[in-house]
Amino acid sequence: MIDTRLSEEHEALRKTVQEFARDEVAPVIGDFYERGEFPYGIVAKMGAMGLFGLPISEEYGGMGGDYFALCLALEELARVDSSVAITLEAGVSLGAMPLYRFGTEEQKRRWLPAVAAGEKLAAFGLTEPGGGSDAGATRTTARRDGDEWVINGTKAFITNSGTDITSHVVVTAVTGTREDGRKEISAILVPSGTPGFTVSKKYSKVGWNASDTRELSFADVRVPVENLVGELGRGYAQFLSTLDEGRVAIAALSVGLAQGCVDESVRYAGEREAFGRHIGSYQAIQFKIAEMEARAHTARLAYYAAAAKMLRGERFKKEAAIAKLVASNAAMDNARDATQVFGGYGFMNEFPVGRFYRDAKILEIGEGTSEVQKMLIARELGLPA
C-alpha cells in the first residue's frame, strides 16, 4: 500500500509555513513585486524560522531535517508568491547544498552557518550568456597562479547574487583540458566584494520581480586555491548531482503555484456573479477548476515519489525529471486557466493570479528546460543519447 500521508513533523512544518505565507507574505508581497524590491524583512523572518537550514545538519547551523521538508516549505510559499519561494529554493538547493555536499570541513564551518540561518544568501553561477542548456560549453576560465585561482568570464541569470546579504557565489569554470580533449570544469567559491568581481544591475524580468537575478562578470578575479569546491575537474558532475535535487524542489514550487491558482479560482468563483448567479455554479467554470485541481494533485504525487526515492538513497534522476516536467506544465496551464476564470481582473497585477501568470513560464525553463527533462527521461529509459 502506498501511503502519501505526511509524518507529524512534516505536517507541522507544512502548516507553520502555510500560516506564515498567508499571514506574513500575502498581505505585503504584491507591493514588493510591483516595485521590483527584494523583501529583506520577509527573508529575515524565513531565516528565523529555520527555513534556509532545513536540510542542513545542526553541526553547520541547520535544522537537521531532510530535503523533503524543504520541498514542503517551497510548495506552501509558492501558493502565495513565487519570488519568495525561489529565493529560498536558490538559497538552499543552489547556494548551500553544493558546499554542504562537496565542500571541505573548513569551507562548511566558515560559510554554511550564516547561510543556514538566513543571515546571508549564497548563489551558484553556472549559466552563461551563450550557454543556456548547454552548460558543458562553459567559457569562464580559472587558471592557477601560485596559491591563487585567477578567474575570467561572465555568468547570466544568477539568483540571489546581488543582494545586500549575498556572501558568496560558487562558479563553474574551465580549469584545464581532459585527456579526451573535453573541458575540465571545476567549481570555485568567490566571496562577494572580491576585486574584479562585478555584479550588474538587476534584470528587468517578466516575473519573479521580488527576487534578485543578475549577470556577473569576472576580470582577473583572484581567490585562494583553497576555495575550490569539491574535486578538481568535477565541478560540472557535482552540479548535475545538485541539479537532480533542485529539480524536485522546483517541482514542489511549481505545485505550489498550481495549487495557488486553484485556491484563488475557487474563492473568486464563489464571489463573482454573472447573469444572476455565482460563476462557480456554471459547469464550464466547474470543469475548468476541476482540471486545475487534477493537475496540481498529479504533480504533487510526482514530486512526492521523486523525493521518496531521493531520501531512500536510490537513483532518482528520471523521477526528478518527470516531476519537474509535469509540475511546471501544471503551473503554466493552471496560471492560464486561472486568468481565464478571473476574466479581465486576471490581467490586473493587483490580483495574485496576475503574478502567478507572469511567474509560471520560467518554471518550464529554469534548472533545466522542459525539453531537457524529456531528453533525460528518454536517456533513463535506455534510448540513445
pLDDT tens, residue by residue, 34-57: 999 999 999 999 999 999 999 999
Q: Which residues contact 310 (CB under 8 A, 6 or more apart)?
A: 67, 68, 244, 245, 248, 316, 320
- Of the residues 80, 101, 121, which one is the last residue of a structural domain? 121
Band the pLDDT of 179: cuts 50, 70, 90.
Answer: confident
pLDDT tens, residue by residue, 73-114: 999 999 999 999 999 999 999 999 999 999 999 999 999 999
For residue 298, the tally of other CB atoms under 10 A from its CB is: 14
- Residue 70: what pLDDT? 97
- Residue 49: what pLDDT? 97
Tell me phi and psi for residue 166, to 5 degrees. -70, 125
Band the pLDDT of 185: cuts 50, 70, 90.
Answer: very high
CATH number, residue 153: 2.40.110.10
Contact call for residues 45 and 34 (beta carbons, < 8 A): no
Is residue 278 in some structural domain? Answer: yes
For residue 251, the tally of other CB atoms under 10 A from its CB is: 35
Band the pLDDT of 132: cuts 50, 70, 90.
Answer: low
Is the pLDDT at 135 greater than 80? The verdict is no
In Å, how far from its chain's centre is CA 85?
Answer: 7
Band the pLDDT of 182: cuts 50, 70, 90.
Answer: confident
pTM of full prediction above 0.85:
yes
Residue type, 71: C
Asked if residue 313 and residue 349 are part of one domain, the reply reads yes
329 vs 261: CA distance, rounded Å: 13
For the residues of 209-261, what is the DSSP string, one character each? TTS-EEEEEEEEEEEEGGGEESSTTBHHHHHHHHHHHHHHHHHHHHHHHHHHH
Which DSSP category does 107 fall into?
H
CATH number, residue 46: 1.10.540.10
Asked if residue 366 and residue 241 are part of one domain, the reply reads yes
- Residue 181: what pLDDT? 79
Burial state string for 203-241 with b = 16 or more CB within 10 A and e = fewer than 16: beeebbbbbbbbbbbbeebbbeeebbbbeebbbbebbeb
Contact call for residues 302 and 325 (beta carbons, < 8 A): no
Whose CA is closest to 125, among 221, 255, 254? 221
Asked if residue 196 and residue 305 are part of one domain, the reply reads no
pLDDT, mean of residues 213-237: 95
Write down the mean pLDDT value for the chain. Answer: 95
- Residue 242: what pLDDT? 86
The domain total for the chain is: 3
**The C-alpha cell that represents 115 in the structure block:** 547561510
Residue type, 157: F
Asked if residue 333 and residue 243 are part of one domain, the reply reads yes
Question: What are 95's strand-pairing partners?
Answer: none
248 vs 349: CA distance, rounded Å: 29
Asked if residue 70 and residue 150 are part of one domain, the reply reads no
Is the pLDDT at 385 greater than 90? The verdict is no
Asked if residue 274 and residue 222 are part of one domain, the reply reads no
User: What is the percent of the chain with per-residue pLDDT over 70, rounded to a whole number?
Assistant: 98
Is residue 337 in some structural domain? Answer: yes
- Of the residues 213, 233, 253, which one is the last residue of a structural domain? 233
Q: Which range marks the domain in which residue 82 is found?
A: 8-121
Is residue 3 in some structural domain? Answer: no
- Of the residues 168, 202, 233, which one is the last residue of a structural domain? 233
Asked if residue 143 and residue 65 are part of one domain, the reply reads no
For the residues of 99-161, what is the DSSP string, one character each? HHHH--HHHHHHHHHHHHTTSSEEEEE---TTTTT-GGG---EEEEETTEEEEEEEEEEEETS
Band the pLDDT of 133: cuts 50, 70, 90.
Answer: low
**The C-alpha cell that represents 150 in the structure block:** 585567477
Band the pLDDT of 1: cuts 50, 70, 90.
Answer: low
pLDDT tens, residue by residue, 244-293: 999 999 999 999 999 999 999 999 999 998 899 999 999 999 999 999 99
Asked if residue 282 and residue 224 are part of one domain, the reply reads no
**The C-alpha cell that represents 141 in the structure block:** 576560465
Just list the catalytic residues.
367
Is the pLDDT at 308 greater than 70? The verdict is yes
**The C-alpha cell that represents 165 in the structure block:** 546579504
Asked if residue 376 and residue 246 are part of one domain, the reply reads yes
Give, in order, the Cα–Cα distances in Å from 253 to each of 122, 135, 282: 19, 23, 30
User: What is the percent of the chain with per-residue pLDDT over 90, rounded to a whole number?
Assistant: 87
CATH number, residue 276: 1.20.140.10
- Residue 237: what pLDDT? 86
**The C-alpha cell that represents 247 in the structure block:** 529539480
98 vs 101: CA distance, rounded Å: 5
**The C-alpha cell that represents 208 in the structure block:** 519573479
pLDDT, mean of residues 114-135: 87
Is the pLDDT at 3 greater than 80? The verdict is no
In Å, how far from its chain's centre is CA 242?
Answer: 12
